[in-house]
Amino acid sequence: MEAALPLWVYEYAEAPRQKTPRADVPACELDTPSAIIAAIKYAKIAEPSIEGQGGDDNAYRVACKMRDLGVSEDTCTEILADEWNDRCLPPWNFEELQAKVGHAYQYARGQAGAISPEAITEMFTVIEEEKPADRPVPFFDYELDGEPPARKWIVQDWLPQGEVSSLYGDGGQGKTLLAEQLGFCVSRGLPFLGLLTAKMPVFAALAEDDRDEVHRRLSAIRKAYSSPPKEESYFRIFAFPSENYILAKASGEGRLVKGPFYDLLVSFLEEMPEGPKFLILDTLADMFDGNENIRNQANRFIKNVLRGLCAKYETTILMLAHPSRSGMAAEDNLSGSTAWNNAVRNRITLTSHKVLSDVRILTRVKSNYARSGDTITLCWQAGVFVVINEAEALREAADTHEEVILKALEEAAKEEMPFGDSRNHGNNIFNSLSRFSTNGKPIDKALLKSVLDCLIASGKVVRVKGKYRGNGLYPADFERDD
C-alpha cells in the first residue's frame, strides 16, 4: 500500500503561484543606462549556481533580482551570460539560461524595476493628480427635454468641436504640414480642403519642427491662400524640438502624473482669448511618457489628460501620431493598445496612394458622429496640400505612360519575346520596369499594373492566352503570326 503524501504537497500542487497585482506593469522604464549598470554590477558578484546545491533555485533568485533592478528579459539573459554564467558549475548553455530567465520573469512577484534607480527617485517626485473641486452630478432622463443642441464642428464631419481627434501617418507623409495648413485655415475661418471651418484661436505645439521650418511652411501656405502675414487672426506656435514636450508620464504605481510640459501648455491656453479654441499636438510619442501597449494608460491619457483640457479650456484637440510597422501592415495605422482608437471620438489617417507616388489619401477611419470610411485625395503642390480627383489623376498617369508602354510591348513582340503579366510568364513585365521609363524616370510596379489594366480595359492592349508560343501582352494593332 502506498503511503499518503503530506497534505501540504496537495495544497502546493493545487495552488499555483499567482502574480501580485500590477506585476505586468513595470515600475519605470526598463533598460535605462543606470539600470543596466546596476544589473551588471550585481551580476558580477551574484552567487553562482552549483549543480546539486540548489542551482535552479539560485538561478531563479538571481534572475528575479535582475528584473527588480529594471532590465528586460532579453537584457537580463545577455548580462548573466557575460558576467555570471561562467562562474556557475557547470555553466548553463545559452538556451538553458534563457529558459531559466524566462521562467523567473514569468512568475516573479511585484513590478519589474521596483528597486531601479529611476523607481526609487520617482517615489519621491510623484505629483498628485488633480481632483476636480466639484464632481459632476448625475441627471435623470426626463431632464433632457426639448430639442437637443446642434452638434458643432471645426471641420464639418471631420473634426468635432470640443473633442479629442487623432491624425495618424507614417513619417514623411505630410501630417505636420496638413495640421499646420488646418490650423492656418481655422485661425482665419478659411475653407480647408474645400470644407468650411469654424473660426477660432489656434495653438500648435510642434515637437518635430523648428521655427525656420514652420516659417517655410507658413510662407507657402500664405501664398496658396493669398493671405497677408499681418492678417487679423490668432495662430500661435511652440516649435522647439530640443524642449521636453511630455504632458503626462506613468508613475511607479501605474498612475499618470503631470509631465514637465503640462503646466506650460496650460499657461499658453490661459493666455488665449476666451471661448472655443483649437489645439494641435505633434506628436503623441513626444507627449506621452508611458507604455503605449497598456490599455489603462492609453485610456487615461486620452480621457483624463486630453479631454480634461478640452472640458476646462473649451478646447478641441488634434493629436498627431505615428503608426507602428504592424499597424501599417494591417492597414489600420495604429500603434500600441486599441485604446488609442477606442478612446478618441474621431480618428483620421494620412497614407500614400497605392498607385500614385505623390498622392495622399486622407481617410476618416473612425468617427462617433459621422460616417466612417470617407476619403479625400490630396496632392502636394507648391508647398501645400490640394484636393484632386483620384480617377482623373489615374487617367492622367495612364496617358503619360501609355505611349512608352505600347512601344515597349511592340518591341518585345517583334523580338518574339512578348511581355506577360502572369507570375509564371517567362518574360514577366514587372521584372523589366526600366524598359518603361518616362522622361528618364522608371515607372513603379503599382502604377504599371494600373496603366496596363486601363489599356486592356480600353482595348488598346490584348492579352493572348492558350497558344503553344507567343502568349502575353500585345498592342491591339500588332499583327501576330498565329
Determine how many CB atoms are found less than 10 A away from the CB of residue 50.
13
Q: For residue 190, give the nearest of 217, 221, 146, 161 by alpha carbon.
A: 221
**Helix-strand-coil split of the chain, %, nearest 5:** 40, 15, 45
Instruction: Tell me the pLDDT of the chain averaged across its residues.
Output: 84
Q: What angle do CA 185, 191, 192 make, to 5 degrees?
A: 65
Residue 258 bridge partners (DSSP): 248
Burial class (CB in 10 A: 0-12, 13-18, 19+), 57: exposed
Please compute the mean of the pLDDT values over residues 392-411 and round it to a whole number.
Answer: 81
Q: Which pLDDT score, from 0 to 100, does residue 87 have?
A: 93
- Which residue segments constitute the domains of the chain, with CATH numbers given? 8-122 (no CATH), 154-388 (3.40.50.300), 391-475 (no CATH)
The tens digit of pLDDT for each residue in 319-362 reads 999 988 777 777 777 787 888 988 899 999 999 888 787 899 99
From the number of C-beta atoms within 10 Å of its C-beta (0-12, 13-18, 19+), residue 401 rates as buried
- Identify any residues that bridge with 346 across adjacent strands, giving them in sequence order: 165, 367
pLDDT tens per residue, range 188-220: 999 999 999 999 999 999 999 999 999 999 999
Strand partners, 80: none
State whether residue 143 is helix, strand or coil.
Answer: helix
pTM: 0.65
Q: Look up residue 197 and give its three cell numbers.
A: 471651418
Which whole number is the average pLDDT over 178-187? 96
| Distance (Å, whole) CA 359 – CA 393 | 9
Between 6-10, 178-182, 225-229, the lowest mean confidence (pLDDT) is in 6-10
Confidence class for position 430, pLDDT limits 50, 70, 90: confident
d(CA 382, CA 223): 9
